[in-house]
Amino acid sequence: MTENNFQRWVCDACGYIYDEAKGDPDSGLMPGTRYADIPDDWQCPLCGLTKSDLRLLPEVATVAAKRPATVPSGKSGLCKGGDDYIVIVGGGIAGWSVAEAIRRREPMRPVLLVSACHGLVYPKPAISMALAMGKKPDDLVDMDATAKAAELGIEVRPETRIIKLDVARKRLTTVKGGIRYERLILALGAQQRVLTVAGDAADQIVRVNDLGSYRQLRDLMTPGVKRVTILGAGLIGCEFADDMSGAGYQVTVIDPAPRPLSSLVPHQISDELGVRLAAKGVDWKMGATLQELNHGEAGLHAMLSDGKVLETDLVLSAAGLVPNTQLAEKAGLATDIGIVVNNVMQTSRPDVYAIGDCASLSGQVFAYIEPIRRQAEAIAADICGEQERFMPLPPLVKVKTPSMPISVCRPSGPIADDAWVAVDDPDDGLHFEIRSDKTIAGFVLSGTLASKAGGHYQRLRA
Ligand code: FE
């Protein structure tokens, strides 16, 4: 607990942390604003849910105080795990979420988190809106891995890449030595899909999926860069298009689909978003793909599948995610589009779990924060001998396009455009629903209406 007893609150839907010490100056909450003093109409800056949707984070001192002094802290350099260890591979939101969930149930159990990257704790959804908010990569970081590990009373090994997993011997081989485990949790994440593009500048395409690659992107955005081309008009592509056009860049978006967000929302909302972003200068090249990218005299020369050419300074790919399954596959674990798990997130080996972007339940990957938190609870419960199954429920997704706020909560899988039913709503914006057997199975709200998504979401879940 800090000197002034400031507390931290987490938004379970998006991972945003409201720290009373820092406040939320962008929304007018000065540093030092207590949770109790947040106005009821305040909205989470990342997902739009309200104050009542925040959950108090367990205090550092509370958790750490329960730990026996003999257990090495996060700074132990030569930790090798052991036969009683829970080992988590991955320092993203999924890895840290499961560490927290285990700690809430088991204050004493030795836990080691291994991460190929720095394992920084930050709200990943904030990346695609950081530019317009004037945030640098470091501004997004909530805590470093050592501090987070100390808070939870676990051990951590950042920048430690896993080379091999031997499930029979319950052992990981890393670049820094071997690690033994009793239970293993794979939180390996996903990578941006690599598109097949020809040309001598194809390797210049930037794929942003974490803070490290966002840092690279920011480094590439030198003052000479004015024209940005985004590959993909899905959620992330549209968010970056709004963010970058808002920051003054001349943005072009290329996608084989007929309209932006085509797999997520009905065409009326797609069309309006298209118009709003076009008004900000976004040039949509729909129904096309990037075929070739070459170095030109003034920047990069892009050739599209429809024969059009364009000059650009930077190409950013947002073409969807591919789960990281290689480590599991080589170890002989069952995989399909991801690492196959059951409803307590166990893989084909009962002592190995998978969570988040790398895990696949009934052929479906749950890449949003809210299901990841519930997956973490299911794993922690199973390890502790409790019953808590992970139930797939439609997540609430805020499309972070300030030019046209959109909130969508929909069942997985393809939805025919005409299955969306328009709802008359007195407020400003569009409202559509998906109905099944007279109950509402999903909804999408735009404009001012999007701010009411929390209420619709709670009713749908009830
Ligand atoms: Fe949120």
Kindly state whether residues 329 and 435 are assigned to the same domain.
no
Tell me the pairing of strands 155-157 and 177-180.
unpaired
What distance in angstroms lies between residue 57's CA and the mean position of ligand 1's atoms? 14
Answer yes or no: is 390 within a domain.
no
Mean pLDDT over each residue of the chain, to the nearest integer? 89
Lowest-pLDDT range, 43-57, 216-230, 329-343, 414-428? 43-57
Torsion of CA 278, 214, 401, 133, to 10 degrees: -100
Answer yes or no: is 365 within a domain.
yes
The whole-number average pLDDT for the span 242-247 is 91
Question: What's the rounded Cα separation, in Å, for the pair 95 and 109?
Answer: 16
Domain count, the chain: 4
The whole-number average pLDDT for the span 128-149 is 83
- Residue 15 token pair: 């991972």
What distance in angstroms lies between residue 383's CA and the mean position of ligand 1's atoms? 28
**Does 207 score more than 80 pLDDT?**
yes
What distance in angstroms lies between residue 45's CA and the mean position of ligand 1's atoms? 7
pLDDT digits (tens, 9 = 90+) for 1-16: 445 788 989 887 777 8
The whole-number average pLDDT for the span 214-234 is 92
Kindly state whether residues 146 and 129 are assigned to the same domain.
yes
Answer yes or no: is 444 within a domain.
yes
pLDDT attached to residue 1: 44
What distance in angstroms lies between residue 349's CA and the mean position of ligand 1's atoms? 34
How many helices (DSSP H) and strands (DSSP E) are in the chain?
A: 10, 29
Residue 350's φ and ψ, nearest 5 degrees, are -60, -25
Kindly state whether residues 272 and 369 are assigned to the same domain.
no
Residues spanned by the domain of 432:
406-461
- Residue 415 token pair: 């939805």
What distance in angstroms lies between residue 231's CA and the mean position of ligand 1's atoms? 27
If one compares 75 and 343, the residue with the highest pLDDT of the two is 343
User: DSSP readout, 40-98?
Assistant: TT-B-TTT--BGGGEEEPPPHHHHHHTS-TTS--TT-TT--B-TT-EEEE--SHHHHHH
Kindly state whether residues 330 and 432 are assigned to the same domain.
no
What distance in angstroms lies between residue 373's CA and the mean position of ligand 1's atoms? 13
What distance in angstroms lies between residue 3's CA and the mean position of ligand 1's atoms? 26
Kindly state whether residues 309 and 201 are assigned to the same domain.
yes
What distance in angstroms lies between residue 148's CA and the mean position of ligand 1's atoms? 20
The whole-number average pLDDT for the span 405-428 is 88
Kindly state whether residues 18 and 74 are assigned to the same domain.
no
CA atoms within 13 A on the CB side of 305: 13
User: DSSP readout, 129-198?
Assistant: GTTTTT--HHHH--B-HHHHHHHHT-EEETT--EEEEETTTTEEEETTEEEE-SEEEE---EEEPPP--B
- Residue 379 token pair: 């794993």
pLDDT attached to residue 66: 57
- Residue 413 token pair: 């899988």
CATH number of the domain where residue 366 is located: 3.50.50.60
What distance in angstroms lies between residue 296's CA and the mean position of ligand 1's atoms? 42
How many C-beta atoms surround the C-beta of residue 163 within 10 A? 11
Kindly state whether residues 201 and 342 are assigned to the same domain.
no
What distance in angstroms lies between residue 395's CA and the mean position of ligand 1's atoms? 12
Question: What's the rounded Cα separation, in Å, for the pair 299 and 297?
Answer: 6
Answer yes or no: is 14 within a domain.
yes
Answer yes or no: is 392 within a domain.
no
How many C-beta atoms surround the C-beta of residue 48 within 10 A? 23
Kindly state whether residues 180 and 243 are assigned to the same domain.
no
What distance in angstroms lies between residue 33's CA and the mean position of ligand 1's atoms? 18
pLDDT attached to residue 78: 53
Kindly state whether residues 72 and 187 are assigned to the same domain.
yes
What distance in angstroms lies between residue 15's CA and the mean position of ligand 1's atoms? 6
| Cα-based distances in Å from 263 to 233, 234, 415, 418 | 10, 8, 8, 13
Lowest-pLDDT range, 192-196, 287-291, 409-413? 409-413
If one compares 164 and 426, the residue with the highest pLDDT of the two is 164
**Does 175 score more than 80 pLDDT?**
yes
Kindly state whether residues 272 and 124 are assigned to the same domain.
no
Q: Which of 291, 319, 347 is the last residue of a domain?
A: 319
CATH number of the domain where residue 25 is located: 2.20.28.10
Lowest-pLDDT range, 48-57, 379-388, 410-419, 432-441? 48-57
Kindly state whether residues 226 and 315 are assigned to the same domain.
yes
Tell me the pairing of strands 206-207 and 190-192.
unpaired
Answer yes or no: is 455 within a domain.
yes
If one compares 258 and 137, the residue with the highest pLDDT of the two is 258
Kindly state whether residues 72 and 186 are assigned to the same domain.
yes
What distance in angstroms lies between residue 262's CA and the mean position of ligand 1's atoms? 24
**Does 47 score more than 80 pLDDT?**
no
